[in-house]
Structure 1
Amino acid sequence: MKNRLIGMRTIKTALVVVLSYIVSSIINDELSFALIYAAVICVETSVVSSFKIGYNRVLGTVVGGIIGLFMSYIPLYGAITMAAGVVITILFCNLLDIKKATGIAITLVIIIVTGSSESSPAIYAMQRTLDTVIGIVIATIVNMLIYPPDQMIRVRDSFQKFRDTARHVVGDLILYGISDGLDTLGTQLDGFKDTFNELNKELFILKKYDKEEYDYYALMVEASEKVFIYAEATSLSETNVKMTKDNHQKLYKLLSLEIFQTEFVTMESSTREDMIYNYNLAKLISALEKILKERTFQVDNSKY
């Protein structure tokens, strides 16, 4: 699936173009660039983002339509009018916190200011605003009904990347004291959390996700955060600290690390630095055990 030359989002975008073309041909005397453009840029990677961004872009469209209409009545040189309209549109979109809709709002302002010699500015502005809203609606419906994006797959993939990286980063940290991989691990943790949050938002709209698998990844987010926190804490330890025999055995069993150490510390013989190191290491091992434990879930294809 990952190696397909043409992905599902590409196919849906092509379908949106066809539907937009047909709808535009029916409701307009000529093809509407605003309708087709709006539909194409609103094909999103999740159902929730389709709703949210679609809603924001409708607001952006209204803002662009109003500003475009206002600017079309100002008797200035065309380029100055468009430039002023663009600046005003950006300010309003920032004010309304719909920054992702700024592009479509600006496009609409330019389309309206460019205008049509056959229609009054007010009628032309309303036509283009309506076209843009229709394009957004088409894209949102297609994204919902035609093979809606599966956020659980993205969560699985991002967690697998984090888990594989964690295994190598912790190994390098314990064996060689190399902590360079922590930045990569932190980035992948953020990616895993972001994809899980997107999945979380979809639960109220889509009921297709298995609750047991969802609960598992909710626990894995917490465990992954602990892996990163305690890996960072362990990396800050002094180079001469000694490991307890218990931590040594658990690391060997968990990661098959050949840690050559003949002298181990006990609670009685530990220095303050040894105790801190082994505390963080024990917490790291505990969190690693949770994320490295393999789990399989039965996928019910009838839900998709």
Structure 2
Amino acid sequence: MKFERIGMRTIKTAFAVSMTIWISNIFKIRSPFFAGIAAIIAMQTSVSESLSIGKNRMFGTVLGAVVALLFSSFAPENIVSIGIGIVIIIYICNVFGWKKSIQLSAMVFLSIILNFQEGSRFNYALYRTLDTLIGLVIGTLINYFIVPPNVEGKINEMIEKTYSEFKKMIESIIYECKKPSLEELKKHLINMEESYNVLKKDMRLHLSKKQNTYDYNWIFTAFDNIYSNLKILLSMKKLPNINEVNREALKRVFNKEISYTNDGNLDELDLIYNYHLSELLKGLDSIDKALLKVEKLSQ
């Protein structure tokens, strides 16, 4: 049986829930359960994501509560009015771009309409909103002040891993004449860019404690170019003649010679192959240099 290491996010989530329950008890919060859930949801992989999730949850809670109170005051409680209420909630969320709030808002609406008597609905809606707010605030503050998520460190690890995967793939194509799949590499590129978008949000909101963040845009562009050139190489069915310039470049990168010989007669496909191989190797070299710069900045 393999035991996984307990991560910092797990520890922070447990601490956030404990703190939320403790504060809820101090202030006599009626539903610490909902406050605890909000604290769990607030513990995201970045502080900007915590704020985004928290915003969606608050919008959903408030909207669901308001619609439920209005319907309980002016409309009869039956299956028709409940259906109309759900339609209104979904429509409002779509109009204001709160699509991630739809499910929660509908659940809050139903919980107020179906589970509480008329006289207690307002109090329940108010306390439910306050419970959610307390949990979100505590969870987000803990996520920011206690070992904040190192998004940039995660990006650097992903870049190094993707760089290594590209090299392995090129080596298998050139030296082993294989045709590997590019599907996993494409996933790596997408994940890296998503993480970088999160980092940029943190920086815009001044939520990243590190202010000298490296500009990764051109690295991702270089990876995309390598991917495109690699795709073209894999689409070519013949075993190409590799020119001397590319042979020397490959030797520098992989520290070994190509086993098959070059007969010196390069046809049109060979020229195309060597062009894209050259571009691919230039991209690898530029990323290698960029990684050294990133390493110096992080020291």
Give the Cα–Cα distance (whole angstroms) in 1 for the partners of residues 268 and 162 of structure 2. Answer: 32
What does residue 241 of structure 1 align with? 240
What does residue 209 of structure 1 align with? 210
Give the Cα–Cα distance (whole angstroms) in 2 for the partners of residues 124 and 207 of structure 1. Answer: 37
Give the 3 Å change call, closer, same or farther, for CA 70–207 of structure 1 in structure 2: closer
What does residue 250 of structure 1 align with? 249
Report how far residue 100 of structure 1 moved: 2.7
- Listed one character per residue, the Cα deviations across residues 162-216 of structure 1 (whole Å, up to 9, x for unaligned) are 01211111111223443333111111111122222222222231453363x613x
- Listed one character per residue, the Cα deviations across residues 66-123 of structure 1 (whole Å, up to 9, x for unaligned) are 233244455445x887676556544443443223333432342233224444943233
Say whether residues 1:282 and 2:278 are aligned partners. yes
Moved over 6 A (4+): 79-84
- SS in structure 2 of the partner of residue 203 of structure 1: helix
Give the Cα–Cα distance (whole angstroms) in 1 for the partners of residues 154 and 43 of structure 2. Answer: 17
What does residue 36 of structure 2 align with? 36
What does residue 296 of structure 2 align with? 297
Moved more, 157-166 or 111-120: 111-120
- For the aligned residues, what is the CA RMSD? 2.8
Say whether residues 1:130 and 2:126 are aligned partners. no
- Listed one character per residue, the Cα deviations across residues 114-162 of structure 1 (whole Å, up to 9, x for unaligned) are 4444943233222222322232222222222222111111111211220
Unaligned runs of 5+ in 2: none
Task: Say whether the 8 Å CA contact 2:39–2:136 is kept in structure 1.
Answer: yes
Give the Cα–Cα distance (whole angstroms) in 1 for the partners of residues 239 and 4 of structure 2. Answer: 51
Give the Cα–Cα distance (whole angstroms) in 2 for the partners of residues 251 and 194 of structure 1. Answer: 31
Say whether residues 1:271 and 2:267 are aligned partners. yes
Give the Cα–Cα distance (whole angstroms) in 2 for the partners of residues 177 and 97 of structure 1. Answer: 50
- SS in structure 1 of the partner of residue 160 of structure 2: helix
- SS in structure 2 of the partner of residue 100 of structure 1: helix
Query: For residues 151-162 of structure 1, what are the structure 2 equivalents within 5 Å?
Result: 151-162=151-162
% identity of equivalent residues: 30
Moved more, 287-296 or 12-21: 287-296
What does residue 222 of structure 2 align with? 223
- Listed one character per residue, the Cα deviations across residues 193-250 of structure 1 (whole Å, up to 9, x for unaligned) are 2222222222231453363x613x4442222122111111211224143211111121
Query: For residues 1-150 of structure 1, what are the structure 2 equivalents within 5 Å?
Result: 5-28=5-28, 30-73=30-73, 74-76=75-77, 88-117=88-117, 119-150=119-150
* TM-score normalised by L of structure 1: 0.83
Moved more, 104-113 or 149-158: 104-113
Give the Cα–Cα distance (whole angstroms) in 2 for the partners of residues 81 and 37 of structure 1. Answer: 29
Task: Say whether the 8 Å CA contact 2:241–2:263 is kept in structure 1.
Answer: yes
Report how far residue 288 of structure 1 moved: 1.3
- One-letter amino acid of the structure 1 residue matched with residue 111 of structure 2: I
Give the Cα–Cα distance (whole angstroms) in 1 for the partners of residues 17 and 242 of structure 2. Answer: 62
Report how far residue 25 of structure 1 moved: 2.5
* TM-score normalised by L of structure 2: 0.84
Report how far residue 48 of structure 1 moved: 1.2
Moved more, 121-130 or 190-199: 121-130
What does residue 174 of structure 2 align with? 174
Give the Cα–Cα distance (whole angstroms) in 2 for the partners of residues 210 and 178 of structure 1. Answer: 44
Give the Cα–Cα distance (whole angstroms) in 2 for the partners of residues 118 and 87 of structure 1. Answer: 22
Task: Say whether the 8 Å CA contact 2:68–2:110 is kept in structure 1.
Answer: yes
Report how far residue 46 of structure 1 moved: 0.2
- SS in structure 2 of the partner of residue 17 of structure 1: helix
Report how far residue 281 of structure 1 moved: 0.6
